[in-house]
A = this chain, B = another copy of it.
Amino acid sequence: MSPNSFEQWRRDVVAQVEQGLDQCLPSIDHVPTVLHEAMHYATKSPGKRIRSLIVCACADLFGSNIERAIHSAISIELIHTYSLVHDDLPCMDNDDLRRGQPTVHVAFDEATAMLVGDALQPLAFNVLATQPINISHEVRVRQIHLLSEAAGTQGMVGGQAIDLAQIGLKMSQSELELMHSKKTGALFLASAEIGALCGLEYEESYREPLRSCARHIGLGFQVVDDILDASSPTEVLGKSAGKDLRDNKPTYVTSFGLARAKEMAAELEERTEESLMCLPRSGGYLSDIAKLVFNRVS
């Protein structure tokens, strides 16, 4: 796979996800207009759409094109966006800046930010239930099941609860991994499986290598996040740099130092590569995404 063809594919996915998100959100001409406007604001801010890329790459591995997987990707982006909006609220991480823009509760108000998250979440399930393509009811139910687990207390919400409870504490590597496997990893895992299910060639035997791959990419994403948070300026990150440190939150860098965190990232990248070898076409675009995640600078 040449870097050019991945770059073209990546741009295609991002463009289709952003267009699809816009179409599935309620129109800002309809009541309640401010809430709808805030939902568009939250989803439109320029993210990397890594999770969508994982959905579509895993779909591609098993014979599905982007069109067939696009609603799966949109549903993942909706859940991811809701979680960012709620995590940024004053009673949670209290952050003013996200993807280079004022967070939703700053641009609008707290009640609106709360409702944006509360509305994006059911919309994600709605999008999976109503995909306007030939995906069986059985697959839809499995996708909804996977998404609901990833969003619940064994997934993202559980990770956020552990995160809030750990402020000021030092965590062991396994405790940090447990927290991030829920907070970030669960949605990466769900993205991979929900995407793979779009492909008719997906088989149970690929489940473990796929999950292992997604798990390592997810953890790697977080370790790299912590490294960047500690070493990059706010302008590059698009969010408040060094904030975890100021908030006294345990990160890979605060817990193990910058050098060891970089080693950990390299180890995770190696393990990702091992898992990729067990997938068709040695992971296809998923292998390019892994490179993107481990080598990103913002």
Contact = CB atoms under 8 A, between A and B. Distances in A.
Interface residues of A, number: 51
Given A136-B137, A137-B140, A137-B141, A154 B122 contact: no
A136 B138 CA distance: 9
A145 B165 contact: no
Interface in A17-76: 26, 31-32, 34-36, 39
Contact of A91 (B32, B35, B110, B138): B110
Contact of A117 (B31, B118, B152, B154): B118
Contacts of A142: 129
Contact of A35 (B34, B117, B158): B158
A151 interface: yes
Contacts of A153: 26, 32, 35-36, 39, 119
Interface of A: 26, 31-32, 34-36, 39, 83, 86, 89, 91-92, 109-112, 114-115, 117-119, 121-123, 125-126, 128-130, 136-138, 140-142, 144-145, 147-149, 151-154, 157-158, 160-162, 164-165
